[in-house]
Amino acid sequence: MNELFEIELSHSSGVYAKHPIAIVRGEGARVWDSEGKEYIDCVAGHGVANLGHAHPAVAEAISVQARRLITLHEAYYNDQRAALLGKLARMVPELDRVFLCNSGTEAVEAALKFARLSTGRSGVVAAMRGFHGRTMGALSATWNKHYREPFLPLVPGFSHVPFNNVEALEKAVTEDTAAVILEVVQGEGGVHVADPGYLESARAITQERGALLIIDEVQTGLGRTGKLLALEHFDLVPDLVCLAKGLAGGLPIGAALIGKAVRNLTPGMHGSTFGGNPLVCAAALAALEVLLSEDLPGQAAAKGAYLLERLRGLRSPLIREVRGLGLMVGVELRSRVAPYLAAMQDRGVLAFAAGLTVIRLLPPLVITQAELDTVIESLRSAIAEPIPETAEA
Ligand code: PLP
């Protein structure tokens, strides 16, 4: 066995299923393994590398800032952080305060705590098939029992309703509900897009009952769905928006955008040692500049429409449905996807699963049309190939 695999298998925690390749370099939508084999990367660090790998503007910002100041607690002011907060505060004009942290689950955790603090209530309504992270609060909002059950009991007060069902939401939100938390497109849950009107109804219901609306844009945010934020596809102003993944061009970051209904955030109520450090803020500033100046949301909209149309044209009996928004695309098969993902990898394309039967494609938004054509051809030929029975399990 490759020595590098052996070390990771012996000494990493064991909580990740591993693919038998070591990726050592990336550029744009491509990555290379330790043997020099090239892949088009539709995993993109699980939807992080929206700008593509090793973007020179982000690399430069990191290297300049690393020589100036890497760490500084939010108890002190900083030029990079102030500039980033100013930009994030304008992303949804009504949400003009920001809590900075280091990951998606932390952004969700903050939003949940802020909702409880603001309302004095404890209930949280989330959606079936929703995914919000792995820390105890975020995990309580996550649906999949495979992630939840080994850790029971979770945080009390959480319930789950079917996604895109307004009536169920009406029934679930009560005077004990602190917040409703929803994704605009459920990513991990199988790439399911919110129906027109559903999120607007969630807004109306929460407002009417005095609960807050949290929109989790950890996966959908930063251009992925064809808009800077996916909520821009709808007529929607939530109370809290969670961001992470692509926000800092690949460095770890999380952010909760905070609206006026969020109250009682006084010193000491919440915090993070690394949150808002100058290095990550400099990277995020550079990443946002590239996102906007190169109109990556617009590029994602056009490329995503092309990808969806071509995939819908494949007409394989194995394909149950092709779904998505922008460059967040799911191909649901009538079979488990694992062997087909392996066949795509053999053909030089990395893709990943959303559940057991959905192939998820989250390519960098800078992917070229020629690269998209290669992805489509690799998927077409992978699902056209008979899979040996032993691989089906
Ligand atoms: N929320 C959503 C919608 C996600 O897709 C994810 C991760 O995939 C998270 C939260 C958790 O983010 P992280 O893995 O950075 O904690």
For residue 47, give the ligand 1 atom closest to its CA: 8
* Gap between the Cα atoms of 289 and 283, Å rounded: 10
3-state secondary structure of 14: coil
Residue with tokens 């809590």: 99
pLDDT score recorded for residue 385 = 79
Does one domain contain both 387 and 305? yes
**CB burial class (10 A; 0-12, 13-18, 19+) of residue 286?**
buried
Mutating to test ligand 1, I would choose from 15, 112, 214, 218 the residue with most ligand atoms within 8 A of its C-beta, which is 218
pLDDT score recorded for residue 391 = 47
282-319 per-position pLDDT tens digit = 999 999 999 999 999 999 999 999 999 999 999 899 99
Compute the average pLDDT of residues 133-137: 98
Does one domain contain both 163 and 227? yes
**CB burial class (10 A; 0-12, 13-18, 19+) of residue 169?**
buried
Residue 12 has pLDDT above 50, yes or no: yes
Distance 204 CA to ligand 1 centre (A): 26
pLDDT score recorded for residue 392 = 45
Outline where the chain has alpha helix (H).
3-11, 44-47, 56-68, 79-89, 104-119, 136-141, 145-148, 166-172, 198-209, 278-293, 296-312, 338-346, 369-384
* Gap between the Cα atoms of 351 and 331, Å rounded: 11
Closest by CA position to 237, among listed 355, 93, 365, 128 = 93
Compute the average pLDDT of residues 89-100: 98
DSSP string covering 374-387, please?
A: HHHHHHHHHHHSPP
pLDDT score recorded for residue 386 = 73
Does one domain contain both 334 and 349? yes
**The two structure tokens encoding residue 292:** 């906007």
Which percentage of the chain shows pLDDT scores above 90?
96
Does one domain contain both 117 and 226? yes
Does one domain contain both 214 and 177? yes
174-201 per-position pLDDT tens digit = 999 999 999 999 999 999 999 999 999 9
Which of 249, 273, 293 represents a domain boundary (last residue)? 293
Does one domain contain both 121 and 233? yes
Pairing of strands 240-243, 212-216: parallel
Task: Please report, for the domain that includes residue 368, its CATH number.
Answer: 3.90.1150.10
For ligand 1, whether the C-beta of 109 sits within 6 Å is no
* Gap between the Cα atoms of 283 and 378, Å rounded: 33
Mutating to test ligand 1, I would choose from 46, 132, 134 the residue with most ligand atoms within 8 A of its C-beta, which is 132
Does one domain contain both 131 and 158? yes
Does one domain contain both 221 and 265? yes
Residue with CA closest to ligand 1 atom 10: 132
pLDDT score recorded for residue 67 = 98
Does one domain contain both 28 and 144? no
For ligand 1, whether the C-beta of 189 sits within 6 Å is no
pLDDT score recorded for residue 175 = 97
31-50 per-position pLDDT tens digit = 999 999 999 999 999 999 99
Compute the average pLDDT of residues 143-162: 98
Closest by CA position to 76, among listed 214, 360, 277 = 277
For ligand 1, whether the C-beta of 219 sits within 6 Å is yes
Domain around 186: 56-293
Residues belonging to the active site: 131, 216, 245
**The two structure tokens encoding residue 63:** 């290297």
C-alpha dihedral, 163 to 169 to 173 to 177, nearest 10°: 10
Does one domain contain both 133 and 196? yes
Residue with CA closest to ligand 1 atom 1: 132
Outline where 12-133 has alpha helix (H).
44-47, 56-68, 79-89, 104-119
Distance 133 CA to ligand 1 centre (A): 5
Compute the average pLDDT of residues 342-355: 97
**Which amino acid, one-letter code, is at 214?**
I
What's the whole-number average pLDDT of the chain? 96
Compute the average pLDDT of residues 228-247: 98
The answer to whether 171 and 160 have CB atoms below 8 angstroms apart is no
Does one domain contain both 7 and 111? no
The answer to whether 111 and 257 have CB atoms below 8 angstroms apart is no
For residue 220, give the ligand 1 atom closest to its CA: 3
The answer to whether 54 and 44 have CB atoms below 8 angstroms apart is no
For residue 188, give the ligand 1 atom closest to its CA: 5
Task: Please report, for the domain that includes residue 239, its CATH number.
Answer: 3.40.640.10
Does one domain contain both 208 and 341? no
pLDDT score recorded for residue 388 = 58
Which of 251, 278, 293 represents a domain boundary (last residue)? 293
pLDDT score recorded for residue 1 = 67
Number of separate domains in the chain? 2
pLDDT score recorded for residue 123 = 98
pLDDT score recorded for residue 393 = 39
Give how far Cα 197 sits from Cα of 185, 231, 326, Å: 14, 12, 19
Which of 233, 267, 293 represents a domain boundary (last residue)? 293
**The two structure tokens encoding residue 347:** 């053909």
Distance 377 CA to ligand 1 centre (A): 29
Which percentage of the chain shows pLDDT scores above 70?
98
- 160: Cβ contacts below 8 Å, ≥ 6 apart: 125, 126, 127, 128, 130, 143
